[in-house]
Amino acid sequence: MNNFSFSNSVKIIFGKGSIAKIAEEIPADARVLMTYGGGSIKKNGVYEQVKKAMEGRELFEFGGIEPNPHFETCMKAVELCKKEKIDFLLSVGGGSVLDGTKLIAAAQFVEGDPWGILVEGKQPSNALPIGVVLTLPATGSEMNSGAVITKDATKEKRDFNSRLVLPKFSVLDPETTYSLPPRQIGNGVVDTFVHVAEQYLTYPVGAKVQDRFAESILSVLVEEGPQALKTPEDYEVRSNLMWASTWALNGWISKGVPEDWATHMIGHEITALYGLDHGQTLAIVLPGVLSVMRGEKGAKIMQMGERVFGVSEGDEASRIEQSIAKLEAFFVSMGVKTRLSDYGLAEDCIEPVVKRLADRGAVLGENKTITPEKVREILKARV
């Protein structure tokens, strides 16, 4: 196991009815801006629950944060924060609303153009405190310090990390996820699966606690994911999926082990250029990364195959092959298609992705061996 340090200060408030507790977590005199997306919270009763919980408090609203949140939209919210002297942000929605809120929290505290946080590694000197009501289990953003933002004008999708934007608290009420459409259930399960894969399907370092933890998250997804599609209002199923996605990316399973993240970096470019959902891009790319990089990842692919999918027959090459096939079949069973052509994309979509990564000097993977040429090979195998 490699050396590491770990701390995570986010307070999790889990379970049905928990939205009622948010006011206790927010200073009584705070001027709060509630941020939300395209309106799902107004259809599933979450908006009313938040308003009720915040009765008598200074509550402002900013809606319209898009999936793959736009930098431009977030900057409008920053203006509102300055105008109304907002000193607390309450993110109500999925990962996109929360990521946008993290940028809003930090943008006032960075010198010059806030886009510098995303592309130049500028760090904010401070951030507004954030509270969260999560309605879509997927990103882990509710318990991590990352955010992924898209600049609409240039179609760039980039990320930043700052401990200053770690939420103060996150409310996870599984009942809020009953209203998710099948497409978002599938995307969320795939995203969670791939977060684990990025931190687990690398090479062995003898980190047994992290490995078994990662495998337990994957096993829960395989067990409960299809069930969520079949019986959407099953509280136990939704609870397990929600908790699984938080743990998949709250920093814990990455401690003391190598990390990959190539699938995410390639996927972000596909979303930025062609508009596919985050989860859809991951379902396309991960099987390709595993297949092309099997020389480096073989031992862990086989370990996952055996412990998560029960692959125990055949020689090494056959076990790796079977394991990747089972993983891809699982994504398909969640209703998430795994080929570029399934989304109307042909081979000519590949070069722009490769060029963007090459222009940025990106060399990806746990061993920094996924060069732009390898990205081309990976994507050619995914048409």
Residues in touch with ligand NZQ (CB under 6 A)? 37-41, 44, 67-68, 93-97, 99, 135-136, 138-141, 144, 146-148, 176-177, 179-180, 184, 187-188, 191, 249, 264, 278
Q: Which is nearer to ligand NZQ, 36 or 213 (CB)?
A: 36
* Two tokens, residue 320: 């790796």
**With CB under 5 A as the contact rule, which of the stretches 60-68, 187-195, 285-293, 338-346 interacts with Zn ion?**
187-195
Residue 147 binding: pick among ligand NZQ, Zn ion, none (C-beta 5-8 Å cut-off by kind): ligand NZQ
Ordered DSSP codes for 160-178: EE-GGGS-SEEEE-GGGGT
Query: Applying CB under 5 A, which of residues 99, 142, 175, 191 lies at the interface with Zn ion?
Result: 191
DSSP bridge partners of 34:
61, 90
Q: Which is nearer to ligand NZQ, 178 or 377 (CB)?
A: 178
By CB under 5 A, residue 269 contacts Zn ion: no
Shortest Cβ 278–ligand NZQ spacing (Å)? 4
Ordered DSSP codes for 57-78: SEEEEE--PPSS-BHHHHHHHH
Q: Which is nearer to ligand NZQ, 73 or 184 (CB)?
A: 184
Q: In whole angstroms, what is the distance from residue 19 CA to residue 27 CA?
A: 16
Q: Which is nearer to ligand NZQ, 16 or 82 (CB)?
A: 16
Q: Which is nearer to Zn ion, 57 or 268 (CB)?
A: 268
Shortest Cβ 135–ligand NZQ spacing (Å)? 4
DSSP single-letter state for residue 383: -
Shortest Cβ 206–ligand NZQ spacing (Å)? 27
* Two tokens, residue 38: 């395209």
Residue 40 binding: pick among Zn ion, ligand NZQ, none (C-beta 5-8 Å cut-off by kind): ligand NZQ
Q: Which is nearer to Zn ion, 156 or 191 (CB)?
A: 191
Identify how many contiguous H helices and E strands the chain contains and give both numbers.
15, 8
Q: Which is nearer to ligand NZQ, 174 or 305 (CB)?
A: 174
Q: In whole angstroms, what is the distance from residue 255 CA to residue 138 CA?
A: 20
Shortest Cβ 13–Zn ion spacing (Å)? 23
Shortest Cβ 167–Zn ion spacing (Å)? 17
* Two tokens, residue 97: 């609303």
Shortest Cβ 230–ligand NZQ spacing (Å)? 18
Residue 129 binding: pick among Zn ion, ligand NZQ, none (C-beta 5-8 Å cut-off by kind): none
Contacts of 225 (CB under 8 A, 6+ apart): 185, 186, 189, 241, 330, 333, 334
Kindly give the residue spans of alpha helices, DSSP state H, lying in 178-230.
Answer: 182-200, 208-230
Ordered DSSP codes for 137-151: -SS-GGGSSEEEEEE
How many Cβ atoms from other residues are within 10 Å of residue 317's Cβ?
10
The conformational region for residue 162 under phi > 0 = left, psi -120 to 50 = alpha, else beta, is beta
Shortest Cβ 7–Zn ion spacing (Å)? 22
Q: In whole angstroms, what is the distance from residue 69 CA to residue 103 CA?
A: 10
Q: Which is nearer to ligand NZQ, 27 or 275 (CB)?
A: 275
Shortest Cβ 69–ligand NZQ spacing (Å)? 6
Do the strands 156-161 and 146-151 form a parallel or antiparallel pair, or are they unpaired?
antiparallel
- Provide the CB-side half-sphere exposure for 249 (13 A, CA): 26
Binding site for Zn ion (CB under 5 A): 191
